[in-house]
A and B are shown apart, each in its own frame.
Chain A
Amino acid sequence: MSKITVPIGPQHPLLKEPLSFLVTLEGEKVTNSTLRLGYVHRGIEKLAERRTYIQNVYLIERICGICSHIHSTTYCQSVEALLGLEVPKRGLYIRMLLCELERIHSHLLWLGVLSKNIGLNTLFMYAWRDREIVLNIMEEISGGRVSHAVNIIGGVRVDINEKHLSLLQESLQELTIRVEEILRSIENDRSFRARTRNIGYLSLEDIKRFCVVGPVARASGLDMDIRRDAPYAAYDELDFEVPLMTEGDVWARSILRILEVIQAIRLCTQIIHNLPDGPISVSAPRRVPAGEVVSRAEAPRGEVFYYIHSDDSQKPARLKVRTPTLTTLITLPGQLKNVQLADVSAVIAGVDLCIACADR
């Protein structure tokens, strides 16, 4: 049979961000695919070397529009470790609250993108409608829907007041009902299952070989979550479960992410019930002593990694960022092999790509 090569991207209705795939087809079946990154490469690591530690907080937030808060959290906690600062408990709790709200928002956004890609427009509308609840809370707390600028070195910028607490309580209750409804429908819906089951399969061996992290890894049975395995902020004081599935396909990833949303709501509820009193930040010196720091955190898509080398000045000598999407992207050519062309959209959406994160 003759072979045809189809380009998907850099601009394509299927992709929300620029990325380029060259898919080779034999009939309807994908036999080979190559991918190319770099369309939104902004050289953030280089720029960070030219800015002070304080300016970098705002630069780092702009790595990604969906998970901006986890980036600044990881960055701030690395600089705080270098400075030897202890952030007040209340500050850490507010940080965690935003992290978990961001996880809910990211997973619901992703569910919308997946269902749009596989032609389930109703589910797309439901998912994005419910995502608004979280965005409203975040806007109420921080003033921004996607870029929150909540973190500062030494703590957080905004405090949670009574009004926020009652809004949170009300909204989270509503969200729980809606998310459980979404979970019921995707578990039982025949079309959803037909489009996602046994598609984009990754075995546990592949996950380990490619060092994959996050929900994609957990859907293939890899029990790894930085929040539990190496607690940062104050996650060791909270009670939560890490959902795990073994099917390793797009369907398992979908169910797993919704289960994670339910856990994130549980975490938010715990945080607002146990919010400690006291200050929200401490003042931080501008000059950072010499040293090297490694910091990890669990972003919505998995482990995010920061390395900072300080040479006793106001600017970092080296700042390295490794985002979770970089680890899942590398598995895509393997996942696409022997998939029907019509299912390519489900596979690409299934891993939850964030190209802005991957390119930096």
Chain B
Amino acid sequence: MTIEKTGIKLQEILNLDRSSKKLIPLNEVEITISKQQILLAVKTILKSGIWHLSAITCQQLENEFVLLYHFWKSGGLTLLISLDENNLQIDSICSLVSGAEFYEREVREMFGIEFLGLPNPTPLLLPDDWEGGYPMRKKEPASQEKSNENPLQDKGKSV
């Protein structure tokens, strides 16, 4: 089944309005769904023969976090889910797509989004003793000042 047809079927099953956004390039379709629909949506996509999940992108916007599930089969189908910043919980899709585990773990530690049912919720990229916040959030600095200091630098002089 083509990407377009799967998109239409998905909108029918989930009772969505027929507007789907086109990303650039044009063979990328983006469909907005609610977070309660994620498991049903992924099941529908898998059933129609699209099994490849390229990535899960998380992005922080003004008052919300956006999760993008990028599926692919000769063309891209992206599911967009927005999460309220006071309730950052969503069902894990690892039970359906085993390959999502690393993507979800990365989003979890970088943005602080909780995936319910994630099989191994331990740090993937950050150190075990990491004490900073969630590094990819907008308010977090790009580097901690302490670690930026050059230990060989003469403290008295400016370089």
Please classify how large the interface on chain B is, using the bins under 10, 10 to 19, 20 to 34, 35 or more: 35 or more
Q: A81 an interface residue at 8 Å Cβ cutoff?
A: yes
- Expressed in whole angstroms, the Cα–Cα distance for A297 and B97 within the complex equals 22
CB under 8 Å from chain B, chain A span 292-326: 292-296, 303, 305, 307, 309, 317-318, 320, 322, 326
Tell me the minimal C-beta distance from A129 to chain B in angstroms: 36
Instruction: Identify the stretch in A41-49, A143-151, A258-266 within 8 Å (CB) of chain B at 4 or more residues.
Output: A41-49
Complex interface bits, B92-109 against A, C-beta within 8 A gives 1, otherwise 0? 000001111111000000
Is the Cβ of A294 less than 8 Å from the Cβ of B28?
yes
- Residues of A with C-beta under 8 A to B99: 209-212, 327, 330
Known pairs A43-B135, A46-B142, A307-B55; A292 contacts B126 (CB<8 A): no
Q: A329 an interface residue at 8 Å Cβ cutoff?
A: yes
Q: A208, A291, A305, A309: which contacts B70 (Cβ < 8 A)?
A: A305
Please classify how large the interface on chain A is, using the bins under 10, 10 to 19, 20 to 34, 35 or more: 35 or more
Complex interface bits, B7-46 against A, C-beta within 8 A gives 1, otherwise 0? 0000000000000000111011010000000000000000
Q: B125 an interface residue at 8 Å Cβ cutoff?
A: yes
- Residues of B with C-beta under 8 A to A237: none
Q: B90 an interface residue at 8 Å Cβ cutoff?
A: no
Q: B79 an interface residue at 8 Å Cβ cutoff?
A: no
Is the Cβ of B135 less than 8 Å from the Cβ of A46?
yes
Is the Cβ of A307 less than 8 Å from the Cβ of B51?
no
Chain A contact residues, majority secondary structure: mixed
Query: Which chain A residue has the least Cβ–Cβ distance from B59?
Result: A318
Is the Cβ of B54 less than 8 Å from the Cβ of A305?
yes
- Expressed in whole angstroms, the Cα–Cα distance for A354 and B125 within the complex equals 15
Query: Which chain B residue has the least Cβ–Cβ distance from A83?
Result: B24
- Residues of A with C-beta under 8 A to B151: none
Complex interface bits, B53-71 against A, C-beta within 8 A gives 1, otherwise 0? 1110101000000001010
Q: A279 an interface residue at 8 Å Cβ cutoff?
A: no
In the complex, besides A81-B25, A303-B72, 10 extra interface pairs with C-beta distance below 8 angstroms are A38-B127, A41-B125, A46-B140, A209-B97, A211-B99, A230-B75, A295-B25, A305-B70, A318-B57, A322-B103
- Residues of B with C-beta under 8 A to A184: none
**15 CB-based A-B contacts, threshold 8 Å:** A41-B125, A46-B140, A209-B97, A209-B99, A210-B99, A211-B51, A211-B100, A224-B52, A292-B24, A292-B30, A293-B25, A307-B57, A320-B55, A326-B103, A330-B102
Known pairs A292-B23, A329-B102; A46 contacts B52 (CB<8 A): no
Is the Cβ of B53 less than 8 Å from the Cβ of A38?
no
Complex interface bits, A36-62 against B, C-beta within 8 A gives 1, otherwise 0? 111001010111001000000000000
Q: B123 an interface residue at 8 Å Cβ cutoff?
A: yes
Tell me the minimal C-beta distance from A29 to chain B in angstroms: 23
Q: B78 an interface residue at 8 Å Cβ cutoff?
A: yes
Q: B136 an interface residue at 8 Å Cβ cutoff?
A: yes
CB under 8 Å from chain B, chain A span 153-206: none
Q: B118 an interface residue at 8 Å Cβ cutoff?
A: no
Is the Cβ of A208 less than 8 Å from the Cβ of B142?
no
Known pairs A46-B136, A46-B142, A208-B51; A229 contacts B97 (CB<8 A): no
Complex interface bits, B125-159 against A, C-beta within 8 A gives 1, otherwise 0? 11100000001100010110000000000000000
Q: A352 an interface residue at 8 Å Cβ cutoff?
A: no
Q: B24, B68, B101, B125: which contacts A291 (Cβ < 8 A)?
A: B24
- Expressed in whole angstroms, the Cα–Cα distance for A293 and B27 within the complex equals 11
Q: B87 an interface residue at 8 Å Cβ cutoff?
A: no
- Expressed in whole angstroms, the Cα–Cα distance for A186 and B25 within the complex equals 41
Q: A359 an interface residue at 8 Å Cβ cutoff?
A: yes
- Residues of B with C-beta under 8 A to A14: none
Tell me the minimal C-beta distance from A277 to chain B in angstroms: 27
Q: B86 an interface residue at 8 Å Cβ cutoff?
A: no
Known pairs A211-B53, A212-B99; A230 contacts B142 (CB<8 A): no
Query: Which chain B residue has the least Cβ–Cβ distance from A213?
Result: B52
- Expressed in whole angstroms, the Cα–Cα distance for A2 and B127 within the complex equals 31
Q: B124 an interface residue at 8 Å Cβ cutoff?
A: yes
- Residues of B with C-beta under 8 A to A8: none
Query: Which chain A residue has the least Cβ–Cβ distance from B53?
Result: A211
Q: A135 an interface residue at 8 Å Cβ cutoff?
A: no
Tell me the minimal C-beta distance from A219 to chain B in angstroms: 17
Q: A245 an interface residue at 8 Å Cβ cutoff?
A: no
Query: Which chain B residue has the least Cβ–Cβ distance from A323?
Result: B55
- Expressed in whole angstroms, the Cα–Cα distance for A212 and B51 within the complex equals 11
Known pairs A41-B125, A326-B102; A82 contacts B72 (CB<8 A): no
- Expressed in whole angstroms, the Cα–Cα distance for A229 and B55 within the complex equals 18
